[in-house]
Amino acid sequence: MIPQNFEYAAAQTLDDAIKQIAGGAKPLAGGMSLIPMMKLRLATPERLIDIGRLKELNYIRESGGALHIGAAATHHEVESSGLVRGKCPLLSETASHIGDVQVRNMGTIGGSIAHADPSADYPAALQALEAKFVLKSSSGERTVSAADFFVDTFATALEPGEMIREVIVPLEAQGTGVSYQKMYQPASGFAIVGIALRIARSGGKISMARIGVTGLSGKSYRAIDAEKALEGKAGSATEIQNAAALVPQNVDINSDLHASADYRRHLAVVYAARAIAAALSRSA
């Protein structure tokens, strides 16, 4: 529980942080994942650059028809922000399921995404929201979709020297129903299965469905077949069940102490059905 020696510096500006990261420093924000790994000596960075206090990374604002969330916004800020609650309620609802109060007060959205824990909550919502991440390095910025960003367990599209600067999520259209349904791993609080749903209806039919999945496999994903199965349907119990059954299809399913692959596959269907029903009931 004692980390190896490391150097620590708190960045004064974003440019300063980028320079440090380009030089090999590991960015530290809330420390909810990195610090425990360092204490167990599973991560042994030689230099940390603290970006958690950068005002340039701590904001939530609306512009250009989207919400822009700075990488250092804490889970609590996302959970409690009036802007997020009003304009992207799936994200605030999902944030409220992360860890516990202390974790939500410290942990940041950028940190969670960059860590890419396959059981983290945010990725489910970000997949369903088709979120985009602005990645910054000393050579400039690029924008990557959530679908492309999450590569595998703890593996992302981040290149050496890059950091997440911002998360962009769309403003939810009026009448869209959303839900995040999760079975907790009781010790860690992470998701054994987490399903994020967005559903819009038009003329009594489902006009849009987005399903983000976490916990089930090595990385979060959108259950596109299940989405397609819902679109154009009225949303009867049978239709929900049929769509939910597609969620764990064609996926390598995790198995661990807390849930076997069979059980996880089953839970994915149960929780997907619950999330679809909940989102549908909230849609107008």
Query: How would you list the strands of the sheet with 60-63, edge to edge?
Result: 60-63, 66-70, 163-170, 132-137, 140-145
Residues numbered 37 to 56 that lie near another protein (CB under 8 A) are 40-41
Q: Identify the three-state secondary structure at position 201.
A: strand
Smallest gap from Cβ 44 to another protein, in A, equals 11
Residue among 64, 82, 160, 186 that touches another protein (CB under 8 A): 186
Residue among 29, 267, 272, 278 that touches another protein (CB under 8 A): 267
Binding flag, residue 35, another protein (CB under 8 A): no
Residues linked to residue 179 through DSSP beta bridges, in sequence order: 197
Residue among 85, 134, 270, 282 that touches another protein (CB under 8 A): 270
Cβ proximity to another protein, 15 vs 262, nearer residue: 262
Binding flag, residue 263, another protein (CB under 8 A): yes
Cβ proximity to another protein, 101 vs 284, nearer residue: 101
Spatial distance between the Cα atoms of 171 and 195, rounded to a whole number of angstroms: 20
Spatial distance between the Cα atoms of 202 and 220, rounded to a whole number of angstroms: 28
- Cα 215 to Cα 38, 49, 276: the distances in Å are 23, 29, 17
Spatial distance between the Cα atoms of 186 and 243, rounded to a whole number of angstroms: 28
Q: Which stretch binds another protein (CB under 8 A): 45-53, 163-171, 235-243, 263-271?
A: 263-271
Residue among 5, 63, 236, 238 that touches another protein (CB under 8 A): 5
Q: Which stretch binds another protein (CB under 8 A): 150-158, 163-171, 226-234, 255-263?
A: 255-263
Cβ proximity to another protein, 13 vs 102, nearer residue: 102
Helix axes 261-282, 237-246, angle to 10 degrees: 140
Smallest gap from Cβ 168 to another protein, in A, equals 31
Is residue 182 within 8 A of residue 271, CB to CB? The reply is: yes
Binding flag, residue 258, another protein (CB under 8 A): yes
Q: Which stretch binds another protein (CB under 8 A): 17-25, 50-58, 169-177, 183-191?
A: 183-191
Binding flag, residue 255, another protein (CB under 8 A): no
175 conformational bin, left if phi > 0, alpha if psi -120 to 50, beta if neither: left
244 conformational bin, left if phi > 0, alpha if psi -120 to 50, beta if neither: alpha
Residue among 120, 183, 209, 276 that touches another protein (CB under 8 A): 183
Is residue 167 within 8 A of residue 145, CB to CB? The reply is: no
| Binding site residues, another protein, CB under 8 A | 1-2, 4-5, 40-41, 100, 183, 186-188, 257-260, 263, 266-267, 270
